[in-house]
Amino acid sequence: MSANTAPGVPLAAAPLKLKTLVTRVFVRAGILPWFLISCVLLLTLTTDSFLTGSNISTVARQATYLILAAVAQMLVLLTRGLDLSIGTMFAMGSVVTSMAMVATSPMGPAAAIALGMGAGMATCLVIGAANGIGVAYFNVPPFVMTLAMSSIVSGLAFYSTGGTPVYGLPYEFSEIFGYGKLFGIAVPVIVTAAVLVLVHLYVSWTRAGRYLYAIGGNPKASELSGIDTKFNLFMTYVVSSGITGISALLLTARLESGESNIGVEYPLMSIAACAIGGVSLFGGIGKLGNVVLGAVFIIFVQNGMNLLQLNSYLQMVVIGLLLILAIVADNYRLKLLARMAD
């Protein structure tokens, strides 16, 4: 008998305990920790600049737009919904913001920035309200409603600009919201952190936030318990569009122009970030912190592929594969949870 083996304990016990431990960690935390660990290890070994301070700073700035889009998507997914119009909200919000700033530029940069940002936010909120009305009050399936809205808004964005960028934005807009820093921290990062705090308070500490989980978990029971499911569904799409609008403004400031073709990748990437972060596509399950990490992981992957000088089109392939893997892993995790409950 080995000196390291306790009397009466079979040699197979150690691997069995390790398997049990890994299973429990997987059930509790999901696939995200394994994705993150694998990504960091692989990119650290294959690149020289991945964990440098400048690259981490770049990743943090780049991640802000996807984090906000993923959080917006999470709110809708919690209610058993789906928002495929997030990408076109970026485009239309960017175009309207830029056109409004250019039109009001004679009033001075401060007025132009305020009016332009207000117009862009209002546009996104109108799109979200249209989605909410269709889903909540006319019972249009979220997939169909948001896909149709995506087509409508995309067409309007390209029609209004002719497919060309809108230039002439106030210099101060990009200087502050695109490239500015406060106490050494990028302004987009500060804005994103502030939004995350507000969303956390909304989801965790308000009645409306708790209703999201209740509606997603069991819509019929929620309605019978006295929850105004229609109004809460409507407001979910409005709040989600507001968060998307903020991200669209920040990205517009970064690009220094209004673009009718931005945001194309955000529907897929936001859903992938949510799925990787453990948000159930069947509603009622999801944590804000995990969604943020899921978005950061995707940006890590994109950043790593850029450092490795891989073809940009491969990023779309990788994100799609990760989404499928995350959903398969989540379904398996739910089965394990059900077994443990029994």
Amino acid at 168: G
**Alpha-helical segments (H) within the chain:** 13-29, 32-46, 53-78, 86-103, 109-132, 142-161, 171-177, 187-205, 207-217, 219-224, 229-255, 266-276, 288-307, 312-341
Q: Which of 116, 240, 252 is nearest to 188 (CA)?
A: 252
Residue with the two structure tokens 């122009």: 257
Q: Where are the domains of the chain?
A: 52-263
What pLDDT, in 10s, does the model give residues 143-164?
A: 999 999 999 999 999 999 988 9
| CB atoms inside a 10 Å sphere around CB 97 | 29
Q: Which residue has the higher pLDDT, 118 or 307?
A: 118
Q: Please check whether residue 247 is in contact with residue 90, taking contact to mean a CB–CB distance below 8 angstroms.
A: yes
Cross-strand pairs, 94: none
Q: Please check whether residue 83 is in contact with residue 147, taking contact to mean a CB–CB distance below 8 angstroms.
A: no
What pLDDT, in 10s, does the model give residues 236-261?
A: 999 999 999 999 999 999 999 999 99
The residue-averaged pLDDT of 274-291 equals 88
Taking the model in full, what pTM does it have? 0.88
Q: Hey, what are 265's tokens?
A: 């990748």
What pLDDT, in 10s, does the model give residues 188-205?
A: 999 999 999 999 999 999
Q: Is the pLDDT of residue 4 over 60?
A: no
Q: Is the pLDDT of residue 11 over 60?
A: no
